[in-house]
Structure 1
Amino acid sequence: MLVEWHPKRLWYYDTRIRRHGFDCLHRMIVVKRTDGTLIIMNPVELTTQLQLALSDLGLIKQICVTSPTYHPTLSEWWLAYSEAQFLATPTVIQQRSDLHFDDALSSQTHKSLQGELLQTSLLGSKSPRKVIFCDPQSRTLILPDLLLANQPHLPLPQRLITVIFGAGRSTVFPFSDRTQFERMSLLRASIQEVLTWPIEHIISSNGLTVGKDGKNAFFQAFRWAFVSD
């Protein structure tokens, strides 16, 4: 079921996927543009029920994949919405050479999303790029599977994984991913860019929800970057 996060602007749809043998939450995010068309982020399995719900909201204009984790269902979306613009990270484009993509997502707001969303990615890492968005209208930071937190609504296996990775109720950036950053100055610049955005809330494609003080929650997850060499 589509959940309205911000009136007439932002929705999400939660389902479960298997990752490394564990049940985890996969959250698709839907943004209604000012012209009434839709932006889909990290699409889930496309069911008839979901198609009908989306058709009630508007015409799908863009389908964005912001992390290598969320490409498995792309084929069915490509077949159903071939007129939409497909945007993805460079890694996803390489992974899915069977599909045609209109462009790659970078650390700058894509021209087709300008005036709707703000966009960046965390630079300085050896890991595949993951793209971050902000919807200024709803003051929501939209993340891929970037941060961890042990939140009650998450599947129990996912909560156990977050504990193993050192996460409590507060948002954290996994310790294992911190070692992938070789240029801390670039990472800090990316974080500082995000902190200039109008953020009050956070939702993420791995199911995290921060209802208030989202900017501080994001900063606290990366505080370590400002005390590292």
Structure 2
Amino acid sequence: MRPFGTDIWLADGAEVDVAGFRYPTRAAIIRLSGGELLVWLPIALTPALRASIDALGEVRHLVAPNSLHHLFLGQWRDAYPMAKLHAPPGLRRKRQDIAFDGDLDEGAAAAQWAGDLDQVVIRGNLITTEVVFFHVASRTVLFADLIQQFEPGSLSGWRALVARLDLMMAPAPEVPRKFRAAFIDRARARAAIQQVLAWPAEKVVMAHAPPVLADGQAFIVRAFRWL
């Protein structure tokens, strides 16, 4: 786990296999103004990671940013039974075995971290509805799957071909072509991205791409230029 700015830390986890592709995983741990911790995109919870997090404070919120990131929620629920587990649109239906405490598309959830985090729900996509966050203190935008980049040379054979065609191995992080095609309501998506661009972003964190350390707003404009 490493510091990424004021009251935010990043933790890289083990790769996970999805449809034959090995995806890197990344979580963000954010200390809210009241001192409690929020974990964005919970990854595999190892003893070392848990010890590092517990040294920072008490975990009170667990956030899955879209319906694709749910593999390790049970581990975190067991480890932190007092933390509130927040569901993005569609995940309650997908994981009926998990008891969620709130929904990210409701104002009640956002009110619990108002002033520390802002959030925008990116709707209109057939693959998933992603909730994008902005951490005010570090001026960091958090994307889960909407922007991706595999490390060049990390894939070979048919996987490398598919990744290149899907823009997952482009020279810079991009919105994959499958996600672009899945936006059936582009007007709604554009309105949401305009809200994201209203944030004074300096840095950008993505689950499946290297973090952006400067000029975050310009980076987001470029990534969504097709929209």
Equivalent residue number for residue 199 of structure 1: 201
Structure (1/2) with the larger strand percentage: 2
CA contact (8 A) 2:32 2:113 kept: no
* In structure 1, C-alpha distance between the alignment counterparts of 2:91 and 2:155, rounded to whole Å: 26
In the alignment, structure 1 residue 103 sits paired with structure 2 residue 102 = yes
Equivalent residue number for residue 13 of structure 1: 11
In the alignment, structure 1 residue 221 sits paired with structure 2 residue 223 = yes
Equivalent residue number for residue 71 of structure 2: 72
CA contact (8 A) 1:14 1:207 kept: no
CA contact (8 A) 1:26 1:207 kept: no
CA contact (8 A) 2:115 2:136 kept: no
The alpha carbon displacement at 1:151 in A equals 4.5
The alpha carbon displacement at 1:139 in A equals 0.7
Where do residues 85-124 of structure 1 align in structure 2 (5 Å cutoff)?
A: 85-106=84-105, 110-124=110-124
Equivalent residue number for residue 135 of structure 1: 135
CA contact (8 A) 1:85 1:102 kept: yes
* In structure 2, C-alpha distance between the alignment counterparts of 1:127 and 1:18, rounded to whole Å: 18
Structure 1 range deviating more: 99-108 or 63-72: 99-108
CA contact (8 A) 1:27 1:44 kept: yes
Q: Which amino acid aligns with 1:117?
A: L
CA RMSD of aligned residues (A): 2.1
Secondary structure of 2:146's match? coil
In the alignment, structure 1 residue 189 sits paired with structure 2 residue 188 = no
* In structure 2, C-alpha distance between the alignment counterparts of 1:122 and 1:24, rounded to whole Å: 22
The alpha carbon displacement at 1:69 in A equals 2.3
* In structure 1, C-alpha distance between the alignment counterparts of 2:25 and 2:125, rounded to whole Å: 24
Listed as ranges, the gaps of 5+ residues in structure 2 are none
Secondary structure of 1:121's match? strand
Alignment deviations for residues 144-201 of structure 1 (CA, whole Å, 9 cap, x no partner)? 111123556xx81399464231252223211222222222221111111111001011
In the alignment, structure 1 residue 50 sits paired with structure 2 residue 49 = yes
Query: CA 1:68–1:24 in structure 2 vs 1: closer, same or farther (change >3 Å)?
Result: same
Match of 1:174 among 176, 182, 189: 176
What TM-score do the two structures reach when normalised by structure 2? 0.89
* In structure 1, C-alpha distance between the alignment counterparts of 2:72 and 2:60, rounded to whole Å: 17
Listed as ranges, the gaps of 5+ residues in structure 1 are none
Q: Which amino acid aligns with 1:119?
A: Q
Secondary structure of 1:202's match? strand
